[in-house]
Structure formats: C-alpha cells, structure tokens
Structure 1
C-alpha cells in the first residue's frame, strides 16, 4: 500500500508530507484546492511524462517521493529483487523523482538511480488510478474482454494461449518467408547456376591475383633478372677475385695472426660464419639464375588468368575474397533450392501443428469466457442493486472473430457489454446508453466484482462519483468501503455521503501565505472530520442541524462496516 507521500515545489505545493493509513481514505477540499495535484504527483511517480510548468514558480526543481509497503508474496517483490532494487529482507519500496526546469528528470528506486521505464513498470502493479478517462476505457471491447478474463482468473489459460499464438505466428512467418525465398530462387535459378559454375570453373583462391602479378613481373623481365643474378653469382663465387676467394685469403691471414697474437683468435669464427653465409647466398643466386628463363607461352597464360580473375572481381565484389564468398553463397542458395520443397513441407507442417494448438486453446478460452459471462452478469446485477440501480441490466456478449484474422493475442473472441439502466428499455452497447454517473457505478461495480482477483494493492478513484448524488452517492461510498477489504482505496470526492463512509479523511486546503498561494493537507481527527462533513453538506456557514446530519452520516458510515 501507499504509506507516505512527500511533495516539494510542485505547482501550488511548496512542501507537503502525508502519511496514509490502510483502508478507505477520502481526499476532500474546495474546487481548485489541489486534490488532483496529489493524484498527479502519484501518477508522475509511476512514470507518467512530466512538463516543466509543473515546477512551482521560483523553484528550479520539483521533488516527489512515495513509500510503498509491500507484502512478501507480492509479484513485484521478486522482480525488484532480481534487479537488485530491493534487498532479500526488504518489503518497503521508496520511489523518488526529481523534475528539473531544464526538462530532465531523475528517478530513484530505493536510493538507486534508474531509468524512467522502471517507474512505468510500477503503474498498474502498485497503483491503479481511475478517473473519468479510465472510466471511458471501460467502453473499449479489449478492456471488456480483459474484465471477463480477470473475473474468471483465466491468467494461466490465457498465458498458454498467448505463448501458443506467438509460436504459431513465428512458424507462419518462417514458412511464408521460406516460400517467398524458394519462389525467388526458382525465378533466378538459371542465373544462379550459371554464376556458380563460372566461379567453380575458375576456382580462384583469395591471394591468387597478388601471386600472379608477382609472377608476371618476373616473366616480363626474365632476361634482365637472369643477367643480374649471373653477375651477382660471378662476383660472389666464380670470377677471378670473387668475394669468396678473397675471403679465403683473409681466413688464412687471420690464422697466421692468431698463431702470433692470441688476441686476434676471435676473428676466425666470425670470418668462417661470414664465409658459410656467403656460400649459401651464392648457391641461392645460382639456383635463382637457373630458374629464370624467358617463356612467352607462360607469360600469355598468366596474362589470360589475371584477365579472367579481373572479370570475376568486377562482377562479384571487387576482390578475390569477395568472389570466393559469393561462390559459397551461390552454392548455399542452390543447395537450399534443391531441398526447398522438403524444407517448405516441414515448415508448413510446423505451422499447421502450431495453428491446431492455437485453435484448441482458443476454443477452451472461448468456452471458459462464455461460462464466465453468465457468472459476471449475475454478480454485477447484485452490485447494481447495491449501487441504487435496481432496474439496470448488463449483458456480457461474447462473439467469435470473423474475417481473415480469426485469432489475435487475446484469443478468437470479442466482448461487448450491453447495458440498460431502466426497466423496459432494450439492451444497447454500454458506450451509447450509459450516463456519466451510471458509468461510474458500472466501473465501481466491476472493480468490486474483481476485487478478490486483483493483486494491485492501492486503488485511486479521482471523482468517480461525479454526476451522482443522494442514495446513489451513499451506495458508492459503501462499495468503496467494502472494496477496502481487498485494497487500500483512495478517493477524491465532493460528496459527504461518500466521505462519511471512509476509514480516514484527508483535507486538502489552499491558503495565501506571504503573497503566495500554497496547498496543504492534513489528516482529520474525529472532531475535525465531522466539521468538514458538515461543510460539505451546507457550505462554509455550518449550523447545528448540519452538524447533527454530519454526525448521523458518520455514524451510518461506521455501522456499514459491521452490517
């Protein structure tokens, strides 16, 4: 439940701190006092988008903070622990949001900075806010179908169906893509086979063009390379005065030196090492000379091969690496084409089986919804009687989808609430016949019917009683009090019949201080509460008659719990 709310520099609120008890809590005050500001602050703490003009004039930042007490089995607890936002023994969640005039906001969960999306996940899990807009959502067929499922606790079956639906949709997409791919390959088969054969026949290797260019250079300059290598060999080994012959003379002289002066003995190993290396080099030059020879036919062959590789490179990607990749892709495409019929048959069989599972679960869900519709109608009939609409009737109409799309993520059904508020009037779609006050009571009746199935700990009703009065207002107050057996219920109201039914009463006031308007709140004690109820009955001038009427309303409100 929402246990504490703190607001600073938010619209008309300079500083405000409110401790909220469990049960049914009403918020009252004059029009414009700021009751809806408190609801707006809670909505912002649940991820609603903020505007800079909500920051109080003269301040650079607004700060909103709320503390929630959670029971350990609550579904949000494990999720928050998995995100390391809640300790293993913690059950209190503190949400804080700072709005900046620059347009940026910072959000915190249990003192840890988190993205705004974390707060959006809390909406509908920690708190449900119901106002005039939310009542309008009840007119949407998707919401009406969700209400039927919630009443019957179809979560497990609907979850099974949704998973099967997603698997079928995936299988259908894969099969459709495979069919389109096979068709495309068949249309391009002749070209694909030609291109694959062209690359296969050429059989290029990634570095072949570089190696061929080097060979081409050698073939074109064979005479010069042979002449240069011959000259080098002569100088090293064969000519008169060759380097190796001269080095042999140096070796003999070094031997004589070492025999006379031992300090020159280290020269000999170095000379011999050089001698061995030069001999190896001379042999290498000789072998190179012998390999080099002018070969016009080989030159033409290399030229032709390079020309072929260049054509392939221009056609298939600019490099031989790209040509080789293209060849692999073409072979893979042709293999896919050769096996496409078998593959397509298997994929279509997967789709057919997935579709059968969707149909089976959708039929189960439809049957369960049809049974539930009658139970929900009966339950709502009792709620309408308690809400001073004894002649109202609501029929839950479940119909199967038609057209091309028989199935959707919610099943194969459409739900429509047909409503009649008066005896003898035909049932018509709820959206066409319900007045604002009637719609408020239908919403409240539905919430009461779903109370035992709803895990959201805090429900907020923002003037859900608009458009009603008298006995209907008293009935709404009783239902809100009854709803508090399952949830913490906060309600903004102008009706004393509703306010008198609450377990606790918060007064929202607007005052001028230091030439500034400020909103403040206070939790009323028994005496102050009676005075406020009296003002709600008759205005600022409170008479003894109004006080007696207020006391009677409060007495009746307290008795309602024991009745």
Structure 2
C-alpha cells in the first residue's frame, strides 16, 4: 500500500505530506481544490509523463516521494532483483522523482538512481490509476491474456511452464537448422574461418591448467633472489653454533635434568623433544631446497613467451585455457556438421518436426486450460455486472487461435502461430444493448457504462493484478441513484483486497470511506496553496451534507448524511 506521499512545489501545492491507511480512502473537495493534482503526483511518481508545467510558479523544481509497503513475495521483489535494487524483507519501497525547470527528471528507487523507464516498471507493480480519460491496463487488448492467466494462475502456470520448456527447445533447433541451411558461399566462408581457428588452436598444443602452472613457475623465477635470501636467512637462523637448534638443544637438556626429579615435567620434555626433531628435519629440508635452487634466465624467457601466446589466444577464444579447449571442441563439431551438412540437416529437420509435435501438444493443453478459465471468468463478470444494474449486458472472454501461415503447424485444421506464451489471442468482449454485437471493451462508448464495466473487472482482478494501490479519479461521473450506490459498494469491495484511493463527488461513495480526506485551497500572501485534512466523524457528516445539497448546508442534508454513513457501516459489515 501507499503509506506516505510527500509533494513539494508541484502545481498549486507548496508542500504537503499525506499519510494513507489501508482500505478505502476518499478524497473530496471543491472543483479546482487540487484533488486531481494529488493523483497526478502519484501518476508521475509511478513513471508517468512529466512536464515543466507541473513545477510551482516561481520555483526551480518539483519533488515527489512515496513510501510503499508490500508483503514478502510481491512482484516488486522480482523487479528489485532484475534491476539490482535492494528491497529489505520489511517490504519498504521508496519511489522518488524530481522534475527540474529544464525538463529533466531525476528518479530514484530506494535511494538508487534509475531511468524513468525503470521507475515506470516499479510503478506498474505498485499502482493502478484509473481516470475517466485514461487508457488502462484492463482496456489494453494485449494484456487480456496476461489477466486471464493471472485469474487462474495455479493451473495455467503449470501448463505455461510445460509449454515454455518445449517451445525453447524448438526455437533452438530451428535456429540451428537455419544457420546450417544458409547459402553455399556463406557456408564455405564459415568453413574456412573455422578451419583456420582449429589449426591455430591445434598448433598451440594447449594443456589443461597450463597457464596457471606457468604463471606459478614464472613468479618463482622472477623472484629468485628474494626466495634464495629468505631461505638462507631461515636456515642460518636455525643451524649453527648459538642458533635456533643449539638453543633448543640446551632447553631440551635442561628439561631432561629437571624431569628426573619431577615426573610432571616428563610430558613437557617429550613435547619439546618432538618439536626439536621436527625443526631439525625442517632445517635439513631447507638446506636441500637451497642446494637445488638455480636461476635459469632462458627458462624465464621461454615461459614469458608461452604465456604471451596463451594470452593472445584468450583474447580470441576464451578467458581460460579450459574455455579455449572447449571452444576448439565446438569448432571441430561444427566443421563436421558443415562437411556433412546434408545428413545433419536431415537429422535436424526430423528433430524440428518431432519437437513441433510436442510443442503443439502442450499448446493445445494450455489453450484448453485457458478456455476453462475463460468460462469461469465470464460467469463471475456477469454477476458483477448484474450487481451494477447492467443485467442485460453480455460479456465474453474470447480465446481465439493466433492464425499463422501455411508453413506453420496445424491445430484444429487451422495453421497457428506459436509464440512464447502459446497460440492464443484473448479478448474481453461486451455488449450492453440487446441485439447489438459483442465489441472490445475499449470500443464501448457510454461513459457511465464504461465506469461500471471497469469496476466489475477491477473487482475480480484486484487480487490477481498484485498492485498495492488502486486509484480512481472521478470514475463515478455520469451516474446517480441506485447505480451510484452499487458503484460505491464495488469500490469498497475492491478496497478489501488492496488499498483504494478515490476522488469522488458522490456522497454514496464518500459514505463508504474508511478514511475521508478533505482537499481545500487557500490564499496566503497572494499565493494559492492546497491543504489536506483528515476528517473526524462529525466533519464527515458536514462534508457529505455539502456534497448532497451543494454550498448551502441544511439539517435535512445533515440527517441524510448521517443516514448514509449508518447504512454504509451496515454494508461494510456484510463485506467483512
């Protein structure tokens, strides 16, 4: 949910900080007070298109910041991982945007600078804004398949995973077939290149881990003097008169004498004896190592030359000798495929045909799963529309085949185009007038009908979309009476699944609020400024009375307002 919103020097807002709660928050106030400006601020914070016109007159920049809290497992965690942004398990996400007078936008997510596009990606997972004039995700035909898949996520997800595995393998086989079936000239050029590379690698006679071993030997030769001096110092410190071993021998003699009179010293004498012989043996090993040391400048030059050759090959074929050898093996295999292209092509063709059949089988299963989900969704949508007094409306989730060309695989007698998400095209169709054909939702003309259709869809999809905050900007315009009451109940129903912020002029909607914020504008020092006030119970009654009658408040309107709030509380208990 959106927990806190800070706005500074934005339009007519000088500086405000608003704390939001769970459930339904209603924003009301006179026209022009700044209600939609607050929603515009949230829209820009989620990656919407900005403009210098939003900057408050006389200032150099506008700053917006929002704190969101999300549950563990929310989609925003995956976004954070994708873009390298840390999101703690407490689920706190801070979006920040500054718009400068030069038109530039500075965007941050949890303090990290990001592009506007990345900010928009995060915004999509957190906020869904719906206004009268804005095209929404639910109105976008391309997203209908995604919404249907989310509606029956568990079953469709399994079918999609099975399909995706087979589809990726088919795509890889087709890519290899295409590469191998290119024209003769390209194949001949490719063969020449591969043979040159293989010859170069074979002539190099590389040995696994050769570079590591040579580097170690080079370091020893290059630092011969330091190694010799250090070993000599160590040996001289241990062996000789008045040196380490001599003093240890004296210590051992002393302990032997003392242990003849004190049995408790016997263990210490044995311990020192063991150490003495170990150090004596180490001293002999150091002497032998010193005797074997020799500096060979020719060997050092040979190693340097070999390492230079290996490093040259690394730049072309791999970061390590192992990677170079693996590349040589792949080159050898590809040369064999090109020289025996016809037989390899035939084998690949057989593999493609076999895998196409497997993909088509999974696509058919995925399609059947979607059709079942579409039927269930259609029933639920009809019920929602009936509650919104659109009982004559007909809604349909259309799951059509994505038609391909004659070379594509055939499903149900029709060539279909296989895509990464299947072979289906999903569309939400509706007609609100008997006798009229079904149309795409985006083509439904009536504003009042469109508002109700959108609410019906959002009521069902609220829990599937995963957004933490749903925002309605005067979506109830053009309705009244019983329809207004049904819209109020639907909006509240959505707020039980996710936080809802709603700008409204309808008292029926405002009466359902869990939190009611009054947006007002005042003139101070000849400048207009917007303020936000969290209304108490009695203040809510006054505001609802004003919404009922207009500017003049009467006892009748106040009584009506109290009755609306009382009825709203009863309806809320039914929802809960």
TM beyond 0.5: yes
Select 2:525's aligned residue among 514, 524, 527: 514
Q: Report whether the alignment pairs 1:53 with 2:53.
A: yes
Pick aligned residue for 2:504 from 472, 493, 497: 493
Measure, in 1, the Cα distance between the counterparts of 2:506 and 2:387. 18
In structure 1, the residue matched to 2:361 is 360
Partner of residue 452 from structure 2, selected from 435, 441, 445: 441
- Deviation per CA, 1:346-367, whole angstroms, max 9, x where unpaired? 4434433443333122111210
- Whole-Å Cα distance in 2 between the matches of residues 362 and 94 of structure 1? 40
1:24, distance to aligned residue in structure 2 (A) = 0.8
1:511 deviates by 2.4
Matched, 1:176 2:178: yes
Q: After superposing the two structures, state which structure 1 stretch, 418-427 or 509-518, moved more.
A: 418-427
Shift of the alpha carbon at 1:466? 2.6
Question: Within 5 Å, which residues of 2 pair with 1:380-395?
Answer: 380-395=381-396
Distance across 2 between alignment mates of 1:62 and 1:177: 54
| 1:133-532 mapped onto 2 (5 Å cutoff) | 133-134=133-134, 138-153=138-153, 154-162=156-164, 164-182=166-184, 184-185=186-187, 337-404=338-405, 406-423=417-434, 427-532=438-543
What SS is found at the alignment partner of 1:448? Answer: helix
- 1:128 pairs with 2:128: yes
- Cα distance 1:464–1:61, how it changes in 2: closer, same or farther (>3 A)? same
Corresponding residue for residue 413 of structure 2: none
How much has 1:132 moved relative to structure 2?
3.4
Using the TM superposition, give the Cα deviation of residue 461 of structure 1 relative to its aligned residue in structure 2, in angstroms: 1.8
Distance 1:498 1:196, change over 3 A: closer
- With normalisation by structure 1, the TM-score equals 0.69
Shift of 1:561: 0.9
Matched residues in 1 for 2:375 and 2:335: separation? 59
Q: Is the alpha carbon distance of 1:82 and 1:429 closer, same or farther for their aligned partners in structure 2, counting shifts above 3 Å? A: closer
TM-score by structure 2 length?
A: 0.67
Q: Distance in 2 between matches of 1:137 and 1:90?
A: 28
State the 1:489 CA deviation. 1.0
C-alpha separation between the residues in 2 aligned to 1:504 and 1:80?
31
Deviation at 1:130, TM superposition (A): 2.1
Bigger radius of gyration among the two: 1
Query: 1:371 Cα shift?
Result: 1.0
Q: C-alpha deviations, 1:395-420, integer Å up to 9, x for none?
A: 22222122326223332122333323
What is the CA-CA distance between 1:560 and the residue it aligns to? 0.9
After superposition, what is the alpha-carbon deviation per residue over 1:263-296, rounded to whole angstroms, capped at 9, x for unaligned? xxxxxxxxxxxxxxxxxxxxxxxxxxxxxxxxxx
Residue 484 of structure 2 contacts residue 506 of structure 2 at CA under 8 Å; is this kept in 1?
yes
How much is the aligned-residue C-alpha RMSD, in angstroms? 3.2
**Secondary structure of the residue that 2:5 maps to in structure 1?**
strand
CA distance in 2, matches of 1:550, 1:379: 33
Work out whether residues 444 and 450 of structure 2, in 8 Å CA contact, stay in contact via their aligned partners in 1: no
Superposed CA offset, 1:529-563 (max 9, x none) = 22111222221111122112222211221111112
| Equivalent position of 1:65 in the other structure | 65
Q: How many angstroms apart in 1 are the aligned matches of 2:442 and 2:72? A: 40
Query: Unaligned 5+ residue runs, structure 2?
Result: 196-202, 204-330, 406-415
On the 8 A contact 1:185/1:333 being kept in 2, the answer is: no
Greater shift, 83-92 or 429-438, is seen at 83-92
Q: CA deviation at 1:175?
A: 2.1
Residue 212 (structure 1) aligns with: none
Tell me, yes or no, if the aligned pair for 1:135 and 1:439 is still in contact at 8 Å: no
Query: How far apart are the structure 2 equivalents of 1:490 and 1:196?
Result: 63
- 1:82-101 map, 5 Å: 85-86=85-86, 88-101=88-101
Counterpart position of 2:237: none
CA distance in 2, matches of 1:113, 1:139: 32
Distance 1:161 1:333, change over 3 A: closer
* 1:331 Cα deviation after fit: 11
**Cα distance change of structure 1 residues 3 and 432 upon mapping to structure 2, 3 Å threshold:** closer
Distance in 1, Cα, partners of 2:132 & 2:166? 36
- For residue 379 of structure 1, report the CA deviation from its aligned partner: 0.7
- Distance in 2 (CA, whole Å) between partners of 1:137 and 1:515 is 42
The separation in 1 between residues aligned to 2:3 and 2:501, in whole angstroms, is: 12
Q: Are residue 545 (structure 1) and residue 547 (structure 2) matched?
A: no
Contact 1:506 1:521 survives alignment (8 Å):
yes
Distance 1:98 1:77 in 2: 24
C-alpha displacement of 1:344: 2.4
Task: Determine the C-alpha separation between the residues in 2 that align with 1:185 and 1:480.
Answer: 64
Deviates more, 1:332-341 or 1:30-39: 332-341
Separation of aligned partners in 2, 1:4 and 1:40: 15
CA contact 2:180–2:338 (8 Å) conserved in 1: no
Match for residue 557 of structure 1 among 530, 546, 568: 568
Structure 1 stretches lacking a partner, 5+ long = 198-204, 206-329
1:536 aligns with 2:547: yes
**Shift of residue 81 of structure 1?**
6.7
CA distance in 2, matches of 1:27, 1:350: 62
Deviations 1:483-505 (A, max 9, x none): 11210111122222212112111
CA deviation after TM superposition for structure 1 residue 89, in Å: 4.8
